[in-house]
Amino acid sequence: MGEDGGALSRRRFLAVAGTAGVTGASLLAAGAACGGEETARRSAARRRMSVAAPSPPPRQAPPPSWTRAPLTAAHRPVFDLRQVLPAPPPNAIALTIDDGPHPEWTPRMLDLLARHGVPATFSVIGAEVKRFPKLVERIAAAGHQVANHTMHHPSPFAALPHARIRAEMAEARVRIEDAAGYAPRFFRSPGGDWNAYTYDQCAEQGMIPIDWDVDPRDWATPGARHIERALLKAGPGDIVLCHDGGGDRAQTIAALSRALPALKRRGLTFVSL
């Protein structure tokens, strides 16, 4: 959920989205460590662990809109984003939906996104994927990105033993691949709680760590108008956090139904990660 995590969880990343006017926009993410023999070892691990999305049939994962530059050896999650082809437009914004799938709120969220023509990235919990695999299949079939949000959403995540961190990420990755038809390319830590070992596991398991810039704290049900006002503060290059799981999401649905068209009228273009 959107509660604060450890010391590394909320540092900002520089988004390079096409023009000088957007260069200062913040995207949260982290990449693989670099430097000498360690970089070579981790690069080899990424090649071994990463699973390429199959050509249809079966389904392919949507191509990521951004790729991340390497993290420093000190694991400081601050670096510039690089454009990839196709490059995101200068007015790009990314909506991420966490903690599902949920049998009531995920279908309603998918219907809402389809109505407004908005692609999104769903950070799903493996235990919920196990219960509702058809919902994950529907998310992927609609062209949204499916990201790994651990198997059971334990918190504080960074305080767990290394073996538990690895297992939470790896088991959810397998569950998502089985349901979506492709291995997840992105990982979001519960609560945005990061540490060096989590970044290493992202590299070894072939995933890119992502966080967020705009958090309306919809998981706390503060009221639809409160959520809407927070969403409307989003700008080019931002990653926006919302939820379709973890509780009653009627307020989130109501807020997004007003905020999505308003943000599009401002000239923002929604992209999945």
Q: How confident is the model at residue 41 (pLDDT cuts 50, 70, 90)?
A: very low
Range of the domain at 206: 13-271
2 found inside a domain: no
User: Are the C-beta atoms of residues 167 and 204 closer than 8 Å to each other?
Assistant: no
pLDDT of the residue at 211: 87
pLDDT tier at 88, thresholds 50, 70, 90? confident
Q: What is the share, in percent, of the chain residues with pLDDT greater than 70?
A: 68
Angstrom CA distances, 28 to 36, 92, 188, stand at 26, 14, 10
Residue 154 lies in a domain: yes
State the pTM of this model.
0.74
Q: Is residue 8 part of a domain?
A: no
Written as one letter, the residue type at 269 is T
* Domain assignment present for 37: yes
Cβ proximity of 96 and 242 under 8 Å: yes
Residue 127 falls inside a structural domain:
yes
Query: Could you give the CA distance from residue 126 to residue 169 in angstroms, rounded to a whole number?
Result: 9
* Residue 240: per-residue pLDDT: 93
Indicate the pLDDT class of residue 191, thresholds 50, 70 and 90: very high
Record the tokens describing residue 16, joined without a space: 């390079």
- The rounded distance, in Å, linking the Cα atoms of 191 and 59 is 30
- Give domain status of residue 92, yes or no: yes
Give 243's strand partners: 98
Would you name the residues annotated as active-site residues?
98, 243
Question: Tell me, what CATH number does 25's domain have?
Answer: 3.20.20.370
Residues 6+ apart with CB under 8 A from 126: 148, 149, 150, 151, 152, 168, 171, 172, 175, 176
Number of domains present in the structure of the chain? 1
Residue 152 lies in a domain: yes
* No. of helices (H) and no. of strands (E), the chain: 8, 11
Where residue 118 falls among pLDDT bands split at 50, 70, 90?
very high
Q: Is residue 83 part of a domain?
A: yes
Confidence of residue 42 (pLDDT cuts 50, 70, 90): very low
Q: Rounded to 5 degrees, what are φ and ψ at 28?
A: -100, 130
What single letter denotes the amino acid at residue 227? I
